[in-house]
């Protein structure tokens, strides 16, 4: 029975391990933030033809479909990591080792941690890459280190050339130069596996071709264009990165293109900024906008997917705080909310969303291309909380040492953005609102349901085994008790007690068809002759009482 229980336990563990392995492969991965799990096997590779503007799935093994027609596109799902950053998964080397990379339009370099990184694990970069174990990986000079500085943090690494695959089923991939990082600084907060830079080619950190240019050169895409649709649904893969063009299914309304104003970054000119609040006129029922202009110290706005919020230079953030207080009665202050970096967030002593004005800014250098963009209070308020019995709200405005305005994911979640490197422009369209599926329709629900059914079945099976074990133990105890009674010697304490015991040759038919037989030789020789006579008479009576009927012969 113990062996059977061990076998059942082993089967139970094997089934659970298979279920969890399947969940890890299919679902939002509980990783750095212990909440999200990626869905790498749900990665979609699709091809779109410019002639009919339709997007269709293609097989990774059929490379001709990728290159069919002008404007072929590749769609990669992005995982929203708690509204902090958006990750996609690429595969490296012959063994197709997967890495989750932050999408960053503010830089151009792609890097992942090297196996010999001296402090990656201390900075929560646990997944490392060993170039020596890949036959397609070639390093130029490991001692020639390149440094890349970010707004927060920096990395040092050497250049390697390796094959990159967009899917674990992709059989071709493309060769690309990137960095294997051996030293990182101040990346504990992000807890990432690497970064893929999608910045302008003219600003390359080490004079190499960007991944967009390399994909076009290898024939993977036909245009140096990519677009971003960022959903606000955390831990789900319904955000999308499109290589080779854009998909109008994610837009609502027209696309407005604005020319870039620098040769190095995805930046455009900001011509005006204002705060506006809808107010109701006393003379009519129509709403009027109370508008207050903001005077910024810079006229350059960088569209940066690697930035979580909206970053303003210190003078501009101070001007915003003064205007909120003077014109709208909202008192705000700067709070340092990161222990590892000099990042200050705007926190205001007002919890009513309706009292916050809209943030309106006009982008474009010429009147023909100027376009207004708006973020409402509900869209730029991050969270509200109580502090010293006062309810406050943290806004998605930050101050970092910079000379530019950075429009990060807070802006990109509202506007579908097209980065056109061939035509040196950026396109904006109001993003379509995609409602998240009900939980019972999500893959993770199916996984949990299957896990629950499996556990329930195994528990029922174990319960049946336990019941059977208890029944067998009780039956064994009963048989053992009967056998013990049969094998135990009779009581021979005296003649007076003998009448209560069986005599030599006596066979008693007990209830349950059990038989008790005593050996005549066990009777004590000290019994008197009179007692023997009494015993014989009693035995004869008992034998007559229990005599079985004899079948008559015909």
Contacts of 515 (CB under 8 A, 6+ apart): 507, 508, 509
Q: How far is CA 390 from the centre of its chain?
A: 34
What one-character DSSP code corresponds to residue 129? B
42-47: long-range pairs with CB below 8 Å, 24+: 42/77, 42/237, 42/443, 43/76, 43/77, 43/89, 43/166, 43/167, 43/168, 44/75, 44/76, 44/77, 45/74, 45/75, 45/76, 45/166, 45/167, 45/170, 46/73, 46/74, 46/75, 47/72, 47/73, 47/74
Report d(CA 313, CA 402) in Å as an integer: 6
Picking from 154, 153, 149, 157, the residue whose alpha carbon sits closest to that of residue 177 is 157
Contacts of 478 (CB under 8 A, 6+ apart): none
Considering 26, 304, 409, 420, which one is annotated as catalytic? 304
For residues 404 and 301, the answer to whether their CB atoms sit within 8 Å is yes
Picking from 165, 10, 6, the residue whose alpha carbon sits closest to that of residue 88 is 165
HEC letters along 307-322: CCCEEECHHHHHHHHH
For residues 78 and 103, the answer to whether their CB atoms sit within 8 Å is yes
483 token code pair: 């056998």
Active site residue 536: no
Active site residue 322: no
Helix (H, G, I), strand (E, B) or coil at 22: helix
Considering 60, 104, 222, 420, which one is annotated as catalytic? 104
Helix (H, G, I), strand (E, B) or coil at 268: strand
What one-character DSSP code corresponds to residue 389? T
Report d(CA 269, CA 407) in Å as an integer: 12
For residues 288 and 281, the answer to whether their CB atoms sit within 8 Å is yes
Instruction: Give the active site residues.
Output: 104, 304
């Amino acid at each position: 029975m113990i062996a059977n229980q061990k076998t059942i336990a082993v089967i139970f563990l094997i089934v659970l391990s298979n279920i969890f392995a399947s969940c890890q492969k299919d679902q939002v991965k509980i990783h750095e933030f212990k909440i999200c799990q990626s869905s790498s096997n749900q990665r979609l590779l699709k091809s779109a033809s410019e002639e009919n503007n339709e997007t269709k799935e293609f097989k990774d093994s059929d490379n001709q479909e990728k290159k069919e027609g002008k404007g072929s596109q590749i769609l990669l799902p992005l995982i929203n990591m708690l509204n902090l950053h958006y990750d996609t998964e690429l595969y490296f080397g012959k063994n197709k080792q997967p890495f989750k990379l932050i999408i960053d339009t503010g830089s151009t370099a792609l890097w992942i941690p090297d196996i010999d990184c001296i402090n990656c694990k201390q900075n929560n970069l646990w997944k490392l890459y060993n170039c020596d174990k890949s036959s397609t990986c070639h390093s130029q000079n490991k001692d020639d280190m390149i440094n890349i500085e970010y707004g927060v943090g920096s990395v040092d690494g050497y250049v390697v050339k390796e094959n990159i695959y967009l899917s674990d089923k992709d059989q071709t991939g493309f060769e690309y130069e990137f960095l294997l990082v051996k030293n990182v600084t101040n990346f504990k907060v992000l807890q990432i596996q690497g970064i893929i830079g999608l910045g302008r080619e003219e600003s390359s950190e080490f004079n190499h071709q960007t991944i967009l240019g390399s994909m076009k050169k290898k024939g993977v895409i036909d245009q140096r264009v990519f677009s971003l649709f960022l959903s606000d649904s955390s831990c789900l893969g319904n955000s999308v990165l499109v290589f080779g063009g854009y998909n109008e299914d994610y837009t609502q309304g027209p696309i407005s293109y604005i020319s870039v104003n620098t040769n190095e970054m995805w930046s455009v000119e900001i011509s005006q900024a204002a705060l506006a609040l809808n107010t109701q006129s006393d003379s009519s029922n129509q709403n009027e906008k109370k508008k207050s202009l903001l005077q910024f110290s810079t006229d350059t706005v960088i569209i940066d997917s690697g930035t979580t919020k909206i970053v303003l230079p210190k003078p501009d953030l101070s001007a915003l705080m003064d205007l909120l207080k003077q014109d709208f009665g909202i008192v705000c202050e700067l709070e340092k909310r990161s222990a590892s970096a000099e990042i200050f967030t705007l926190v205001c002593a007002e919890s009513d969303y309706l009292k916050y004005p809209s943030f309106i800014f006009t982008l474009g250098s010429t009147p023909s291309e100027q376009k207004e963009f708006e973020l409402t209070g509900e869209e730029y308020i991050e969270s509200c909380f109580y502090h010293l019995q006062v309810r406050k709200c943290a806004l998605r405005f930050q101050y970092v040492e910079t000379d530019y305005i950075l429009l990060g994911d807070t802006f990109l979640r509202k506007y579908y953005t097209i980065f056109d490197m061939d035509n040196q422009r950026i396109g904006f369209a109001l993003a379509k609102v995609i409602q998240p599926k009900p939980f019972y329709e999500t893959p993770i629900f199916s996984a949990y349901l299957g896990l629950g059914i499996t556990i329930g079945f195994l528990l029922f099976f174990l319960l049946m085994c336990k019941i059977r074990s208890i029944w067998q133990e009780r039956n064994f105890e009963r048989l053992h008790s009967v056998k013990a009674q049969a094998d135990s010697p009779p009581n021979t304490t005296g003649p007076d007690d003998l009448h209560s015991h069986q005599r030599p040759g006596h066979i008693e038919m007990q209830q349950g068809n059990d038989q008790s037989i005593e050996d005549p030789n066990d009777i004590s020789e000290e019994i008197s002759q009179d007692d023997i006579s009494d015993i014989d008479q009693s035995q004869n009576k008992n034998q007559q009482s229990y005599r079985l009927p004899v079948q008559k012969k015909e």
